[in-house]
Structure 1
Amino acid sequence: MPEVTVVIATRNRRASLERTLHALHAHPAPPAVIVVDNCSADGTPDMVAGSFPQARVLALGRNAGAVARNHGVAAATTPYVAFADDDSWWAPGALTRAARHLDDAPRLALIAARTLVGPAERLDPMSAFMVQAPLGVADDLPGPSVLGFLACAAVVRREPFLACGGFDPVVFFMGEEARVALDLRTGGHGLAYCNDVVAYHHPSPDVGDGTAKRLLALRNGVLTAWMRRPARVAVAETARLLRAAGADPAARRAAVQLLQRLPGALVRRNPVPADVERELRTLAAMEAAAGYSTAPH
């Protein structure tokens, strides 16, 4: 598959990553794979080098969070890059279909895949929302327009992704997709949900702290607002978090971390144009009506 490289960022998830690499290398035409290791202490780079010599390993000297993926994209030599996590992988044929869509649609810069979760292959809630085409379907795109994606199940056109800066260190992890999506859309690129491009996501039920994830979502939603939303929206989001901090320990921790990271967000502040902001408001209204949220935006 000469047009697509799979980039996987990982940290201390050796067993899970091994399963993902086995799944990718079982494809009839295995894709090129770059594993970016976020300073793991469990021997992940050695495992990849020993068991999957076809894969390239970039071992970082520190945990770079989501920014690790940028290193993989920069190292790729193909025009398109598919992201996977150490607990997700692509269905056979999915990347061929993604490359065909990108070949046929010059404006298309990102494909959000249909994501099937767990052994039961349950449709991810974000996929279920996107397939409803809340932003319509543009004539020059292969599926419904979107303003978000799951980083474990997306294919990007390499050059626009790098040009917009990729994932940034301000949010670090959790909700890191939001600013990338907004910047691609602001740059005139298309983002589309493609139902025929399928990814599998098998998150471990015993990995991850729900409170910690909620804290990161709260913090990063406000940081993203300061980077890309109108001041009134950023102020309102900040005030909402501060009100929640009065009774919620996780919100208090999020507020403290927000203050620590806010200078970095303000340095990167560049509000989206009015048409993109209108699309965000449209999405927010439809998500509220459906009882679902793709936040943080």
Structure 2
Amino acid sequence: MNVSDPASAAEPGPRTGPRVTVVVLTRNHVRQTIDTVARLTALPERPYVIVADNGSTDSTVGLLASLFPQVRIVQALGDLGMAGFNRAISLAPTEYVACCDDSTWFAPGALARAALLLDEHPQVAVLNARVVGDDEREIHPACLMLHATSPAADEPPGPTLAGYMAGACIVRTAVFRALGGYETRLSHGGAEELAALDLLAAGHAIVYCEQALAHREPLYRGFTRAQHCALARNAAWVAWMRLPMRDALAATAHALAVFARQRSLGPAGFALLRGVFWTLGRRRRVPAHVVQLTRQVRRAERQVRAGIPAVAEKYDRAGQRAW
């Protein structure tokens, strides 16, 4: 892994520099990445910006280094998926890190408000941003789903969640590092679910924060057959690693149903089975209150899907998954 580290990104004093570092995850999206980094470096908070490049083979890294010499670039040799955040966050010099992908950027003032909220609520480890389109009228369907299925009432700094959007959140740097980052084997689906369970089990809170506003380009794309199967498989693995047997069996049954629908029951089922010993070796059941929280959310998701099918469809197309 190669790291470009300009002198301008040196360690700041405790409170003299920016409060938040923004980490942008990208791979082979040069235009989007340039636009997003330009927006982030122009923010009034003047955050430190780190680009976590997942082995781009286009001109992303070269153009970024030329146009934004103040931006630190962490370049992986291949596609690490969500685990691409790990190395970049380990280098962040600030107490808080805002994570986004190359099509998402934070609104002016959002990072400052998020830092103040995290200062005031030390039990909160992750703020999930409110993600909207350019005109701020259309809320990202994943945010609608998170808000609709939140088991807690709207209280400062926001409703409690059982999960979060890894590409639109603000996290406590020390907590993320203590967590060990995202699991590399789940980095293309399910890594943030495992992280959320571990955060909740450790006594931290995850909340949806309206004041942490982010914008996103509308990039709704359908999943491939392999992606559908990988998401379902990884969800089952997460359940086997952290949840009671009842929940693990339910997640496995759902995964097998997805494999059958995708006409990949044999290969995907074999891949699921191959990971059983790996998951059992990492099994650490979360406390009862976390299990109850996840069950509440799953019940709410089923109700939303039944009552608001249009939102559920957009939610799935936006790259989210619930079992």
How do 1:276-295 residues align onto structure 2 when only pairs under 5 Å count? 276-291=290-305, 292=312, 295=321
Give me the whole-angstrom Cα distance separating, in 2, the residues matched to 1:154 and 1:12. 22
Counterpart contact for 1:131–1:195, Cα < 8 Å? no
Does the 8 Å CA contact 2:26/2:51 hold for their aligned counterparts?
Answer: yes
Give 1:270's match in structure 2, choosing from 284, 289, 304: 284
**Hey, what does 2:51 align to over in structure 1?**
35
Instruction: Indicate the residue corresponding to 2:256 in structure 1.
Output: 242
Find the residue that maps to 1:151 and give its secondary structure.
coil
Structure 1 counterpart of 2:165: 150
User: Where in structure 1 are there 5+ consecutive unaligned residues?
Assistant: none
Q: Answer yes or no: is 1:113 the counterpart of 2:129.
A: yes
CA-CA distance at 1:146 after TM superposition = 0.6
Partner of 1:181: 196
Q: Match of 2:13?
A: none
- Among 228, 233, 245, the alignment partner of 2:242 is 228
**Alignment match, 2:219:** 204
CA contact (8 A) 1:143 1:193 kept: yes
8 Å CA contact retained: 1:119, 1:202? no
Hey, what does 2:67 align to over in structure 1?
51
Q: Give 3-state SS (helix, strand or coil) of 1:29's partner.
A: coil
**One-letter identity of the residue aligned with 2:140:** D
CA contact 2:53–2:61 (8 Å) conserved in 1:
yes
Asked if 1:76 is matched to 2:114, the reply is no
Q: Distance in 2 between matches of 1:108 and 1:68?
A: 23
Q: 2:214 is aligned with what amino acid? A: A
Supply the AA of the counterpart residue of 1:198: L
The Cα offsets for residues 153-187 of structure 1, whole Å up to 9 and x where unpaired, read as: 10000111111122111212133211111111110
Amino acid in the other structure paired with 1:73: I
Long gaps (5+) in structure 2: 1-16, 306-311
* Counterparts of 2:60 and 2:277, CA distance in 1: 34
- Find the residue that maps to 1:73 and give its secondary structure: helix
State how far apart, in whole Å, the 2-side matches of 1:128 and 1:168 are: 27
Shift of 1:42: 0.7
SS in 2 for 1:122: coil
| 8 A Cα contact 1:164 1:180, kept in partner | yes
**Does the CA contact (< 8 Å) of 1:170 and 1:223 recur in 2?**
no
Q: Deviations over 1:3-38 (max 9, x none)?
A: 100011211111111111111122223311111111
Quote how far apart the aligned CAs of 1:253 are: 4.5
Q: What displacement does 1:252 show?
A: 4.8
CA distance in 2: counterparts of 1:157 and 1:146, whole angstroms = 16
Task: Report sequence identity in percent.
Answer: 35
| Post-superposition offset of 1:80 | 0.3
Please give the TM-score of this superposition, normalised by the length of structure 1: 0.90
Count of aligned residue pairs for this structure pair: 295
Cα offset, 1:131, TM superposition: 3.4
Q: Do the aligned residues in 2 keep the contact of 1:182 with 1:272 (CA within 8 Å)?
A: yes
**Higher mean C-alpha deviation, range 157-166 or range 246-255:** 246-255
Query: In 2, distance between residues paired with 1:18 and 1:252?
Result: 42
User: Offset of 1:47 from its aligned partner?
Assistant: 1.4
**Cα 1:116–1:257 shift into 2, 3 Å:** farther
- Is 1:100 the counterpart of 2:116? The answer is yes
Pick from 210, 213, 216 the counterpart of residue 227 of structure 2. Answer: 213
Q: Which residue number in structure 2 is paired with residue 169 of structure 1?
A: 184
Tell me the TM-score normalized by structure 2. Answer: 0.84
Number of the residue aligned with 2:105: 89
Give the deviation of 1:106 after TM superposition.
1.1
TM-align CA RMSD: 2.3
Q: Compared with structure 1, are the counterparts of its residues 106 and 175 closer, same or farther at alpha carbon in structure 2 (3 Å cutoff)? A: same
The one-letter code of the counterpart of 2:278 is G
Cα 1:142–1:29 change in 2 (3 A) is closer
Per the alignment, in what secondary structure is the counterpart of residue 123 of structure 1?
coil
1:125-176 CA-to-partner distances (Å, cap 9, x unmatched) read 232233357321487x511111111111100001111111221112121332
